[in-house]
Chains A and B, each alone.
Chain A
Amino acid sequence: MSEAAEVSVAAQAGRIAVRKTYKLYIGGAFPRSESGRSFEVTGAGGGFLANAALASRKDARDAVVAARKAFPGWSGATAYNRGQVLYRVAEVLEGRRAQFADEVRLAVGGSHKSAFAEVDAAVDRWVWYAGWSDKLAQVRGGANPVAGPYFNFSLPEPTGVVAVLAPQDSPLLGLVSVLAPAIVSGNTVVVVASEKYPLPAVTLAEVLATSDVPGGVVNLLTGRVAEIAPWLASHMDVNAIDLAGALDAPGALADDLAVAAAENLKRVVRLPVSDWTAEPGLDRMIATLETKTVWHPLGV
């Protein structure tokens, strides 16, 4: 009996479960990979969990197009509005605690308690970041006292489309901890889920799809990081790349991606995290922010 079947039986004895098809999340829709490929995802015990979509170069490019299309709307929304939408994500996530705890436990193993702890930490992190949306501009910007008859102020702005390689070891909390800081300021994202634990990420995409996050703001790819990430790192319409999920990759993947990213001077985020439960600080949010300074003369 597969692990997925085992849980279903435990949960609903005597009934054949309706299983979920785990697909990609691009532009607000859940397509299969255009390549028609999938890969087997196994649980902590080694048994079959599901077949996830094995995203291709074309899927990555489609996801970037969707993210770019969503950027003007999301970055142009008021900070208050973005904060409310992100808080709504936390609300919906909270309502699905049990489902996420099951998925996390099946993926990484461990106890019910530790699985719930990860889910609760992920919900709390959404809430923490949601509150930042309408505070960043005051903390990171302000008026500059220039020596002349000018009014001059600086404001933070999102850098654009951000490719995010989600951490490999923390399927939900790690994912939330790299996703939320990118979108809270108005960036739109193409995120590559943990290769080994992609299923909670797809379920998180369902939460996003039902939480008023506009389609295309977050686009999720599942598959092989070493296959997809180079296309994102070299994509000329991507403005930044968070290498969290490649920092421990074999060989020099992170360096290679950073070199490819130099072709259009992407902002490269390399911030190793040893404990995803620790308070994150502002580093990740700042890493995908630009500072814009505006001048205007004073006079009558």
Chain B
Amino acid sequence: MRFEYSPAPESRAIVTLRDSYGLFIGGSFVPGSSVFKTISPASEEVLAEVTHAGPEDVDRAVAAARQAYERTWSAMPGRERGKYLFRIARLIQERSRELAVLETIDNGKPIRESRDVDVPLAAAHFFYHAGWADKLGYAGFGPSPRPLGVVGQVIPWNFPLLMLAWKVAPALACGNTVVLKPAETTPLTALLFAEICQQADLPPGVVNIVTGDGATGQALVAHPGIDKIAFTGSTEVGKEIARACAVSGKRLTLELGGKAANVVFDDAPVDQAVEGIVNGIFFNQGHVCCAGSRLLVQESVYDEVLAALRRRMGTLRLGDPLDKNTDVGAINSRAQLDKISELVSSGEAEGASRWSAPCPLPDRGFWFAPTVFTEVSQAHRIAREEIFGPVLSVLTFRTPAEAVEKANNTPYGLSAGVWTEKGSLILWMASRLRAGVVWANTFNRFDPSSPFGGYKESGFGREGGRHGLEAYLDVTGSADV
């Protein structure tokens, strides 16, 4: 059954794009060495010209952060630091619609997600960490944990503002200053965040934002003036950074890729499980490091679950990300679309069976229809490699032990899902799944108080909660916790 909807586009009028954006260094926008263009992945239209930060620009940003750290931020009482973070949280809430529309234009994600998930969670992260700023001595890291200094942060394009909040809020609450590099394809909400820092009267240099590509990130990671690196992105780049930091001695936390198993047992309520499966892999076009990209279904309910899943996928609405009825938006870039297409081709070539939801794709922009592969073996690339797109690989199992074996058969370990009505089975599974986050009878839930991060090659360190503070404090040698 298919419902027809009239278009319900969110207005773009709330966003005022500038023609050109500088780098945010020392509290103001400054020109840099060269520029590049950022486009809307849904239409390929150029949105604005953005500055590419070269090594000398990164140098200036680190110097500004160092000065702000030494002269202002590290000396400021926690309760005063906290007030700035509360201000930022409120400003994000006040400008939430503007941020949501801008995020959707620059990233391609549906407005429903940027409006209901990304922006509210970003505000919540600042609000949560604001309260920690004057309570760090009670966080269990000894009576007076110290900040680390200047932190270099490199974030991905899948949740541009939210990842900024995950990085900046705890760093600032703990008394560090930051130099943040947004992803090359999604710089605009970070630059709007810079304006928010100005409106909050945040002392200049506490937050610096350098836009650019991988080379800018490399310059930041290699910069000797930085005490700690926090990176969210691909495992491949994470390993390069780990090697660099192994020699330089910088502290490091990494939040990397995943290939999460979403395990459905035969007693699970099928409709709820299917909603969870759909949310797990098609939320944000599958551009989610913790996406439930491997569906493990107990054999006895395989036919029923797959039929319900295909039926549900048939109702997903793909198209204009600004339309409030859109479920699946645009793929973030041509490069990512190529990567998804290549892996999907490999799935077909290796013998898996492909089914894509029958939805029309717009003529312009980057799109990929929600896709499910059956007859997948554990050796197939689509069962082993992170696709980072709306592509689900389905495998089956007979016993809980087999489910655990298959779920853990990956070098990743970021997240996992379990669907069953049996409480003891949930806890049994949760204790055996080697993953940092286990969602039982739900999927893709996030909260600032909930630690998030991976086992194995999904990275190390946690973001969120009391645990997340540890990444931004010098806690070594604290006699108690």
**CB-based contact B447/A147 at 8 Å:** yes
Size bracket, chain B contacts: 35 or more
**Shortest distance from the beta carbon of B61 to any chain A beta carbon, whole Å:** 26
**CB-based contact B243/A259 at 8 Å:** yes
A226 within 8 A of B: no
A267 within 8 A of B: yes
**Shortest distance from the beta carbon of A2 to any chain B beta carbon, whole Å:** 43
B378 within 8 A of A: no
**CB-based contact B445/A148 at 8 Å:** yes
- Complex Cα gap A293–B440 (Å): 11
In the complex, chain A residues whose CB is within 8 Å of the CB of B243: 259, 262
Q: Would A267 and B460 be within 8 Å (CB), given that A144-B449, A262-B242 are in contact? A: yes
Residue from B238, B440, B450, B479 whose CB has the most chain A CB atoms within 10 Å = B450
CB proximity to B under 8 Å, residues A256-300 = 258-259, 261-265, 267-268, 271, 279, 281-283, 290-297
- Complex Cα gap A172–B475 (Å): 27
**CB-based contact B437/A295 at 8 Å:** yes
Chain B 445-478 interface 0/1 with A at a Cβ cutoff of 8 Å (1 = within): 1010111110111011010011100000001111
Q: Would A291 and B246 be within 8 Å (CB), given that A147-B124, A296-B426 are in contact? A: no
Which of A261, A267, A291, A295 touches B445 (beta carbons < 8 Å)? Answer: A295
Minimum CB distance partner of B455 in chain A: A290
- Complex Cα gap A295–B207 (Å): 33
- Complex Cα gap A255–B426 (Å): 42
Interface of A: prevailing SS: mixed
In the complex, chain B residues whose CB is within 8 Å of the CB of A293: 436-438, 450-452, 465
B1 within 8 A of A: no
Q: Would A262 and B445 be within 8 Å (CB), given that A154-B450, A293-B437 are in contact? A: no
**CB-based contact B246/A296 at 8 Å:** no
B36 within 8 A of A: no
In the complex, chain B residues whose CB is within 8 Å of the CB of A144: 447, 449-451, 465
**CB-based contact A268/B246 at 8 Å:** yes
Q: Would A262 and B436 be within 8 Å (CB), given that A148-B445, A291-B451, A293-B450 are in contact? A: no
- Complex Cα gap A262–B236 (Å): 10
- Complex Cα gap A263–B246 (Å): 11
Minimum CB distance partner of B447 in chain A: A146
- Complex Cα gap A239–B481 (Å): 23
**CB-based contact A295/B246 at 8 Å:** no
**CB-based contact A255/B247 at 8 Å:** yes
- Complex Cα gap A297–B426 (Å): 12
In the complex, chain A residues whose CB is within 8 Å of the CB of B124: 147
- Complex Cα gap A126–B235 (Å): 37
A159 within 8 A of B: yes
Minimum CB distance partner of B272 in chain A: A297
Chain A 236-265 interface 0/1 with B at a Cβ cutoff of 8 Å (1 = within): 000100000000000000010011011111
A51 within 8 A of B: no
A39 within 8 A of B: no
In the complex, chain A residues whose CB is within 8 Å of the CB of B438: 292-295
A145 within 8 A of B: yes
**CB-based contact B440/A291 at 8 Å:** no
**CB-based contact B447/A152 at 8 Å:** yes
- Complex Cα gap A295–B452 (Å): 11
**CB-based contact A281/B477 at 8 Å:** yes
**Shortest distance from the beta carbon of B131 to any chain A beta carbon, whole Å:** 12
**CB-based contact A140/B437 at 8 Å:** no
In the complex, chain B residues whose CB is within 8 Å of the CB of A297: 441-442
**CB-based contact B449/A265 at 8 Å:** no
B268 within 8 A of A: no
A139 within 8 A of B: yes
B29 within 8 A of A: no
Residues of A in contact, count (CB < 8 Å): 38
Which of A145, A239, A258, A295 touches B442 (beta carbons < 8 Å)? Answer: A295
**CB-based contact A139/B445 at 8 Å:** no
**CB-based contact B478/A265 at 8 Å:** no
**CB-based contact A154/B456 at 8 Å:** no
Q: Would A264 and B456 be within 8 Å (CB), given that A144-B449, A296-B440 are in contact? A: yes
Q: Would A279 and B455 be within 8 Å (CB), given that A154-B450, A290-B436 are in contact? A: no
In the complex, chain A residues whose CB is within 8 Å of the CB of B447: 144, 146-148, 152
In the complex, chain A residues whose CB is within 8 Å of the CB of B475: 283
Which of B246, B434, B435 touches A259 (beta carbons < 8 Å)? Answer: B246
- Complex Cα gap A249–B433 (Å): 38
B139 within 8 A of A: no
In the complex, chain A residues whose CB is within 8 Å of the CB of B460: 265, 267
- Complex Cα gap A259–B465 (Å): 30
B254 within 8 A of A: yes
**CB-based contact A295/B440 at 8 Å:** yes
**CB-based contact B426/A265 at 8 Å:** no
**CB-based contact A261/B449 at 8 Å:** no
**CB-based contact A146/B450 at 8 Å:** yes
In the complex, chain B residues whose CB is within 8 Å of the CB of A148: 445, 447
- Complex Cα gap A76–B431 (Å): 9
Q: Would A295 and B436 be within 8 Å (CB), given that A139-B481, A259-B246, A264-B411 are in contact? A: no
- Complex Cα gap A297–B441 (Å): 7
B140 within 8 A of A: yes
Q: Would A258 and B246 be within 8 Å (CB), given that A144-B465, A154-B450, A281-B477 are in contact? A: yes
**CB-based contact B246/A255 at 8 Å:** yes
In the complex, chain A residues whose CB is within 8 Å of the CB of B254: 265
CB proximity to B under 8 Å, residues A120-146 = 139-140, 142, 144-146
CB proximity to B under 8 Å, residues A136-181 = 139-140, 142, 144-148, 150, 152, 154, 159-160
In the complex, chain B residues whose CB is within 8 Å of the CB of A282: 478, 480-481
**Shortest distance from the beta carbon of A293 to any chain B beta carbon, whole Å:** 5
**Shortest distance from the beta carbon of A82 to any chain B beta carbon, whole Å:** 15
B430 within 8 A of A: yes
Q: Would A145 and B449 be within 8 Å (CB), given that A259-B247, A265-B457 are in contact? A: yes
Interface pairs (5), CB distance under 8 Å: A152-B447, A263-B239, A267-B460, A291-B451, A295-B437
8 closest A-B pairs by beta carbon, nearest first, are A258-B246, A262-B242, A146-B447, A262-B243, A296-B440, A144-B449, A259-B246, A294-B438
> Chain B interface (Cβ within 8 Å of chain A)?
124, 140, 235, 238-239, 242-243, 246-247, 254, 256, 411, 426, 430-431, 434-442, 445, 447, 449-453, 455-457, 459-460, 462, 465-467, 475-481
